Structure 1
Amino acid sequence: MPFSIYQGMWNVMDCNFEWEIIPMARNEGPALAPWNVLTAGKFCRGAEGEAHSRNGEYHKMFSQFERTEKGKRVSEALKKIATEVGIKHTTAVAIAYCLHKVLHVFLLIDGCKFEHVHASLEALGILLSDARMKELEAAPEFDLGFPSSFIVSHIFFVKLCTNLI
């Protein structure tokens, strides 16, 4: 029996969804319902993100907010495109990325502030060109995707441990 919608984690930083799920959706036709589209604030800009971390605003229940190099690169790409298209919220560009990638996308977006709702609505008015989509896709480093990245990291870990013994 065919299914009508697929739900999974997907955002501009974590593109595992794009390896098999999106091609399957294009071929078979189910809609997509991605969650964690805003990466729980991990691409919040510079000092703003660090201030939220100190205040305990992000990840109150799970972990501390950590800015990675990948997050910084994606943040800068989002900020650049937001400035170019005249949008206030970088999160609106992240939402627009997912909306432009494939047809029939129903984003599961969470937010705890009214400005998050504004950013979500702002995303509906953004038209991203192919060049801007490629710029966003190039921001995070290349990732083999699951399960390949898991297998490669596991093999490396096993080799490392056997060399220590």
Structure 2
Amino acid sequence: MYVHFWDWESLVKEVMDALHNLIVQGKVLYLGISDAPAWVVAQANSYAEFHGKTPFVIYQGQWNVLERSFEREIISMARSPSTRPMGSRWRGKFRSDEEDKQRSLRPSKSDSEEIKGHSVWGSWERTEDEIKVSHALEEVANEIGANSLRAVAIAYILHKAPYVFPIIRGRKPEHLVSNLEALDITLSEEHIKFLEGIGDGTKPQGITASAFNVQKMPPPAPLPVFRLNSQGEGEGAQRQ
């Protein structure tokens, strides 16, 4: 059972107590958590372990070549739990320019709906960043002789950490074939560095970007330093 989207209001203690009750009742076997900050998971598991409750054993979140914020804290935090990354193929947006052209010229019924409509995941059309990543994946695929650049995208996250079990979707037999090809791909350190040189994963993506607006706030100003002058009066000076 997964806890999706931390609500920022519930107390960690209350959540973990309630989840543990489900375990005791036999309704749930294992607990997972999705799209939550690393500090929330660490606090929750620490509380569970110190109070005889059931901890989270797996973390689910967005992770791919373009969205790499997962690597900053989640991987280090989840050395004990396993990871279940979503979006390794970025919902089909990692594709070659030729595939993009063919899909636009002769879309199937389902593709046509994607082209015209928008969803929680955004438009069918690729952004500039998605095109750059697609080109990089295609270059690596050509270099190693892979048939699919999407297989390279899956192989990337499998090379980054142990106990990674990606969620991979597909609607056609060729999707399944390209997914399985990832298991036979070996990327060098040079390939990894090349792919990671495309983006830094700092922009909110996918469902996170659609759920709320992210406004980065400037850091707090330095605190003033107060000193006493020779007359014993306070003087404020800005700390440099």
Q: Tell me the secondary structure at the aligned position of residue 123 of structure 2.
A: coil
Larger radius of gyration: 2
Which of 115, 138, 144 is 2:202 aligned to? 144
Q: Which has the higher helix share?
A: 1
Which of 99, 106, 110 is 2:158 aligned to? 99
**Are the counterparts in 2 of residues 41 and 58 from structure 1 also a CA contact under 8 Å?**
no
Flag as ranges the 4+ runs of structure 1 deviating above 4 A: none
Is residue 39 of structure 1 aligned with residue 103 of structure 2?
Answer: no
Q: 1:115 to 1:5 in 2, by over 3 A?
A: same
**Are the counterparts in 2 of residues 40 and 58 from structure 1 also a CA contact under 8 Å?**
no
Is residue 30 of structure 1 aligned with residue 30 of structure 2?
Answer: no
Letter in 1 for 2:149: T
Q: Which has the higher strand share?
A: 2
Q: 1:117 to 1:139 in 2, by over 3 A?
A: same
In the TM superposition, what is the alpha-carbon distance from 1:12 to its structure 2 partner?
1.2
Letter in 1 for 2:125: E
Is residue 6 of structure 1 aligned with residue 65 of structure 2?
Answer: no
TM-score normalized by the length of structure 2: 0.56
**Are the counterparts in 2 of residues 31 and 105 from structure 1 also a CA contact under 8 Å?**
yes
Is residue 83 of structure 1 aligned with residue 142 of structure 2?
Answer: yes
Letter in 2 for 1:44: R
- For structure 2, the residue ranges without an aligned partner over 5 or more in a row are 1-47, 49-54, 219-240
Q: 1:13 to 1:59 in 2, by over 3 A?
A: farther
Letter in 1 for 2:81: P
Equivalence map 1:100-139=2 (5 Å): 100-139=159-198
Q: Provide Cα deviations, 1:112-142, integer angstroms capped at 9, x if missing partner.
A: 01111111111001111111111111112x3
Q: Which has the higher contact order (CA 8 A, sep 6+)?
A: 1
Q: 1:68 to 1:30 in 2, by over 3 A?
A: same
Name the CA distance, whole Å, in 2 between partners of 1:13 and 1:114: 25
Q: Tell me the secondary structure at the aligned position of residue 184 of structure 2.
A: coil
Q: Name the stretch that deviates more: 85-94 or 53-62.
A: 53-62
Q: Name the stretch that deviates more: 43-52 or 57-66.
A: 57-66
Equivalence map 1:63-74=2 (5 Å): 63-74=122-133
**Are the counterparts in 1 of residues 67 and 202 from structure 2 also a CA contact under 8 Å?**
no
Percent pairwise identity = 41
Q: 1:95 to 1:58 in 2, by over 3 A?
A: farther
Q: Tell me the secondary structure at the aligned position of residue 18 of structure 1.
A: helix
Letter in 2 for 1:109: I
- For structure 1, the residue ranges without an aligned partner over 5 or more in a row are 156-165
**Are the counterparts in 2 of residues 15 and 145 from structure 1 also a CA contact under 8 Å?**
no
**Are the counterparts in 1 of residues 65 and 153 from structure 2 also a CA contact under 8 Å?**
yes
